[in-house]
Structure 1
């Protein structure tokens, strides 16, 4: 499935036309907006509420008031995402307590970063945060070429960030927490046609633009509705490529990005008890290069200017997500049955600059007496790494939930029980050519496959100029039964116990060839299954001290599956492995787990004009999955050491007047290694990499009346992110990451159903370098995105 930008624009124009026509004919069916809702499309004459809105969530897989859910969680509404121009996961991490992002082992960029919560951070093994779109799991294994999936926040109802292990209801990998993106569902009652257009300019970059449209059509009144949305976005980029020798400009705005999103959902109320909802989400993200710079030139070592890169090979990528699903809800009277059938597909193809890791490294392996010109030329010959990542997952979940608690019911017990199955296939194809390499050696009358010329080479080592080829096929299956039950001693006091019983198998099959596989022809690593059985319990107590004040305690276990390692050639890495006491690299690594203990409260004061949520936690994490990098350019995953994380979270929302809203969100994390971690080369007491010590956001919005049908608004938000550690290696350039702050602002006007706003992100144009990862043996630098100023128009047709 391929969506071109021109087709998207045509589709948007068609939606505009269709929406206007259908909207005129169905105008009488539309419901008046509810007073007090703060949607940007709400007419200005609607009275602004004096109270803080309550939000219904599905954090525990049943609809509940967020203030009654006994876990630390944050909820960001769809209208707040739009108002604050929060476009993706990186922005979310700066707005929510104790959640962070960090570049993977291959640097930063769309599709490469990892998401972490409460200091439970690891770039090895399975993910530590579960990522869901509605009820579709998109959580996969961390790979050096693949980070967390990053769905664009388009037509979103809300985002739920559930902190702490969620293993009972969400399974393995939700050990740090779970992030759920909940999309707007079709409305059976009213027509809804909305659109948005935005244009902006980025410092050091160019013009960005985005346009989207959403059409909700009741096909059969109160019985069937269709919701369709499309979005197209262009981000100009701000990185400049320069010649590594002369530093002359080669290309500007290399890290441009073009996005296309399509989502469709059909809701069919077969009868009053049965609802069927098929849906799909498709997203394509095309990037011209990574948003990172080089401090110095690769060849001369000369200092580069900010936002410059001297790589000879740009690193473009194309990341496609496709998630069809079928959800069935059936009201059985005393309980609700839900079935979710889903398929998750991700194709992430990208090019990486392999000049330093391959060409320059191979030049150091030339035998004594090789021509000097050969070594110097080979060292700077552009090399490519073509990575083709494919993820395919089928999953099925059934769950049966009792109705909510009713003090008049014959039993004080509420419960939920379910079963889950998934089959996940992940394939990584890695081809690393050095174009012209064989011809270069022939120019000097030599053969690159002659061991007298290059150490460790052999006939067929550089077939088709490729130094390495591998295809890895991971397969993971999971089967689980889970459930929770709550006993209500009174309407104000309940105790909850839950359990998930999981069985999983994991296997890896691999083909490899050429020089870095250390074997002529194709070698095959046969698949072998590793089985895992895990039980993840949960226990919680909640007490409503009064109707607006809840105290809670919970204890829960988090868990990650283990996995397989690829074979590492002993001819290249044998001596280094021997120095570590290993005859060969471990064939697999085991699971890791943690226990989390949390206390918190959720309170509302002053007639629901002040809300305060606070939580404190203590986490013990053992048998940590880590990545052991070898100087021979290979790595393997293993288990080593223990860690502890303690911290607090605070969220305050206040409405001193109906016109003024103030938000404060803050988190503090102290995550550190309890004992020496030999695999990481770190000592007891060192901080867990990737976890900022604190983060905080303070924002305010003021609305004022201009006329009877027009009002204005002004918003200001400041973000602080504390210092962190990018690696456990003290001498690494990314060891210490600095604290930083940004400010965003916007002003605008609501005209009936339309809103016009002027906004600025990173108002002070803070260009601090916040990460300095070493990628393919070369230091990179990742800065904050430069100041962006834009104009946004949105509303209903």
Structure 2
């Protein structure tokens, strides 16, 4: 391995921060520099050309001399638990820096996800807030993608606001050795900005926009860094508040038609009270803050406490009926569908540096609570009208709450020896408690309408599901540089997991009362091998083989009263389907990373083959219930290509493309699954491109012109189907965002148009809290065309 690579490896976190501050002009209040001299203007051009899709590259001032050349510079990442540049990392990784996130106007997960090759997303779980399901390289499903804020693992479904981040790292491929369970497809890391001990600075940002089909959106956020005790303690405080206009309108449905009327058509008047059309019923409000401290305890010991909080209140569900472009809904009753999510994260990190290495120890506690309500009249009316006895639509709704807490601890030692051998060793512990609760849901008047009692007190559904999980692990990686150009890394993770579950349910939809409980435990080892070689000063190649896994578990309620005969036909009982084991995969990857044309051009590429075994298949039963079981095999093959170019002073462009072919190769008797079925939620192609031009406009001002384009290929969904053979096609879609602005060193004002062509994308079909009403799917969509203005001031 070359000397410059070893130099990066030898740096501890404090050295890394100092090095980055010295060489990266694009930091804190100096993110943008504009006038006074040509030399400063060159630094401006350098800072603003952030190229995220090729690993977060940015243009920088190469020399102080007037004839210096501009070049692409790489963001330093900590994907391998030690500092190294994106070009040096022996894996396919995309890093998006803070300036780039600001320039693209990223507010949430979807905004940056479309920029990352082979990163898919959908809605795997019920409702809205816990439904987001990222998938990397075709490995789709609950718990397949790791999600971290700094060193703390959190649920992948969470969607924190993208505010005051240093960078986002997306690691493609299994991260089973360093990140463990739930990272079998890859890992997404949000890295927060850290306090500065010697500088008071901050910024304020405001955004105002209007969305087609809706009204005004607005947001305000601000950050301040305060050295409370110079060189000893500092705090970085961020707060934000915003509102997004709804786009869906709800109308009264005055009639209904009997489903068993034979050749004739019998139309009935709706007995529900008429209501006026309600506009923009899916308005939402969000707010939050984060406080990060930094204490310099001794010259080589720091402590970083952190507290983050976010709450979102939604007036209604942001789902489209029938097709993605439809913003009208028709309902029998005026039933609100509100929801809210609230979470907080507290953590403390100790960083202790020695001459020969660094100890990093992080302890964290995460708490999340959400509550959602959905109208159930439509589904129940269809059920009675078509499968039981036609009766009038009766008022009914269903609610679900989720309470998730997690305690996690990790301590690791990362060496910084003088010789060719380096290693990382660590231990990890996590304890999760998860409760999903459905309070009593009624269909008042059901028994009277039927003329007999089908469920006591008209009870439709009640359930309480409790899942507790513990994970213990020891992990490590060691690297040997055999000479100036060749290195080999080997490592692995030894783990043990324990799960306990308890399920209690009742009601008409459950076939009466039921109760179950169970335990499940496993242990194993995930190895990894990586070979890297410097083909030349500007070209590096690597190849790796690594194993990833996903923790096993226990299924929720499975009603014997409703599903017993169907399970018997499959040759199993509800007890047989009570638990499921971990599934695992082997990934084989090879890649090349290059810096060309005097580092004005960067081209990175990787190809992979993934073999997935004992897949945790979701078996959907005709009785309306489902369970997870281990069955079959799958294969995912594909590639990523990312390129960035500095075409002229101030003018940069980037291009990224990913391709994934993920399909079942062995069904092994899984319900509704056949060989050749596509893995759901996985786009075949992901393409993105960005162009940015910053130029002087006179009077000490500079102008900005930028575009962001993405293409998201077709994918399939079987969320609400009993067979993968009837998976629903989600068509490909494109989006174009445009931005133009004026800037000085202290402020910037930008006009933007997001989704210029007003493309309405089908991102997923929602897994309803009750069940999907046949013939009326509810779709998760993107936002319509949005036009707005944003301003940012720094001090």
The TM-score, its normalising length taken from structure 1, stands at: 0.86
For residues 210 and 615 of structure 2, the distance between their equivalents in structure 1, rounded to whole angstroms, comes to 44
Confirm or deny that 1:271 pairs with 2:262: no
Match for residue 750 of structure 2?
757
Out of 353, 360, 365, which is 2:375 matched to?
Answer: 353
Out of 61, 68, 78, which is 2:81 matched to?
Answer: 61
Task: Name the CA shift for 1:738/1:229 in 2 (closer, same or farther; >3 Å).
Answer: same
Does the CA-based 8 Å contact 1:288-1:317 persist in structure 2?
yes
| Equivalence map 1:355-394=2 (5 Å) | 355-358=377-380, 360-361=382-383, 375-377=390-392, 380-394=393-407
For residues 320 and 770 of structure 1, the distance between their equivalents in structure 2, rounded to whole angstroms, comes to 24
Name the count of aligned residue pairs.
717
Match for residue 588 of structure 1?
579
Does the residue aligned with 2:87 lie in a helix, a strand or coil?
Answer: helix
- Which whole-Å deviations, capped at 9, do the CAs of 1:577-629 have from their partners, x for residues lacking one? 22222233511111100000000011101121111111000000011112112
Match for residue 217 of structure 1?
226
Confirm or deny that 1:243 pairs with 2:238: no
For residues 339 and 67 of structure 1, the distance between their equivalents in structure 2, rounded to whole angstroms, comes to 27
Does the CA-based 8 Å contact 1:516-1:569 persist in structure 2?
no
Match for residue 339 of structure 2?
317
TM-align CA RMSD? 2.4
- Which whole-Å deviations, capped at 9, do the CAs of 1:675-717 have from their partners, x for residues lacking one? 2354341321121111100010011000101236311110012
Deviation of the 1:734 alpha carbon: 5.4
Task: Name the CA shift for 1:118/1:135 in 2 (closer, same or farther; >3 Å).
Answer: same
Deviation of the 1:362 alpha carbon: 5.4
Task: Name the CA shift for 1:314/1:625 in 2 (closer, same or farther; >3 Å).
Answer: farther
Task: Name the CA shift for 1:365/1:768 in 2 (closer, same or farther; >3 Å).
Answer: closer
- Which whole-Å deviations, capped at 9, do the CAs of 1:24-76 have from their partners, x for residues lacking one? xxxxxxx9996567988523123223211221111011111111000000001
Does the CA-based 8 Å contact 1:162-1:179 persist in structure 2?
yes
The TM-score, its normalising length taken from structure 2, stands at: 0.86
For residues 732 and 259 of structure 1, the distance between their equivalents in structure 2, rounded to whole angstroms, comes to 40
For residues 697 and 737 of structure 1, the distance between their equivalents in structure 2, rounded to whole angstroms, comes to 19
Match for residue 531 of structure 1?
521
Task: Name the CA shift for 1:32/1:333 in 2 (closer, same or farther; >3 Å).
Answer: closer
Match for residue 330 of structure 1?
352
For residues 84 and 36 of structure 1, the distance between their equivalents in structure 2, rounded to whole angstroms, comes to 16
Match for residue 629 of structure 1?
620
Does the CA-based 8 Å contact 1:433-1:466 persist in structure 2?
yes
Match for residue 439 of structure 2?
431
Does the residue aligned with 2:316 lie in a helix, a strand or coil?
Answer: coil
Q: Is there any run of 5+ residues in structure 1 with no aligned partner, and where?
A: 1-30, 141-147, 297-303, 367-371, 449-453
Task: Name the CA shift for 1:88/1:36 in 2 (closer, same or farther; >3 Å).
Answer: closer
Task: Name the CA shift for 1:35/1:61 in 2 (closer, same or farther; >3 Å).
Answer: closer
Confirm or deny that 1:479 pairs with 2:472: yes
Match for residue 791 of structure 2?
793
Bigger drift between 590-599 and 77-86 goes to 77-86
Task: Name the CA shift for 1:700/1:492 in 2 (closer, same or farther; >3 Å).
Answer: same
- Which whole-Å deviations, capped at 9, do the CAs of 1:188-228 have from their partners, x for residues lacking one? 12111210011000000110000001010011112210111
Out of 130, 148, 151, which is 2:146 matched to?
Answer: 130
Q: Is there any run of 5+ residues in structure 2 with no aligned partner, and where?
A: 1-20, 47-69, 256-273
For residues 110 and 431 of structure 1, the distance between their equivalents in structure 2, rounded to whole angstroms, comes to 18
Does the residue aligned with 2:391 lie in a helix, a strand or coil?
Answer: helix
Deviation of the 1:549 alpha carbon: 1.5
Out of 641, 644, 654, which is 1:663 matched to?
Answer: 654
Match for residue 401 of structure 1?
414
Out of 569, 573, 585, which is 2:563 matched to?
Answer: 573
Match for residue 285 of structure 1?
312
Does the residue aligned with 2:611 lie in a helix, a strand or coil?
Answer: strand
Match for residue 231 of structure 1?
240
Does the CA-based 8 Å contact 1:277-1:327 persist in structure 2?
yes
Out of 198, 201, 212, which is 1:203 matched to?
Answer: 212
Match for residue 721 of structure 1?
712
Task: Name the CA shift for 1:218/1:37 in 2 (closer, same or farther; >3 Å).
Answer: closer
Deviation of the 1:290 alpha carbon: 2.1
Does the CA-based 8 Å contact 2:619-2:672 persist in structure 1?
no
Deviation of the 1:84 alpha carbon: 0.7
Deviation of the 1:540 alpha carbon: 0.1
Confirm or deny that 1:139 pairs with 2:155: yes
For residues 39 and 385 of structure 1, the distance between their equivalents in structure 2, rounded to whole angstroms, comes to 49
Does the residue aligned with 1:572 lie in a helix, a strand or coil?
Answer: helix
Does the CA-based 8 Å contact 1:624-1:640 persist in structure 2?
yes
Does the CA-based 8 Å contact 1:617-1:648 persist in structure 2?
yes
Out of 421, 431, 441, which is 1:413 matched to?
Answer: 421
For residues 328 and 780 of structure 2, the distance between their equivalents in structure 1, rounded to whole angstroms, comes to 11
Match for residue 3 of structure 2?
none
Task: Name the CA shift for 1:678/1:475 in 2 (closer, same or farther; >3 Å).
Answer: same
Does the residue aligned with 2:178 lie in a helix, a strand or coil?
Answer: helix
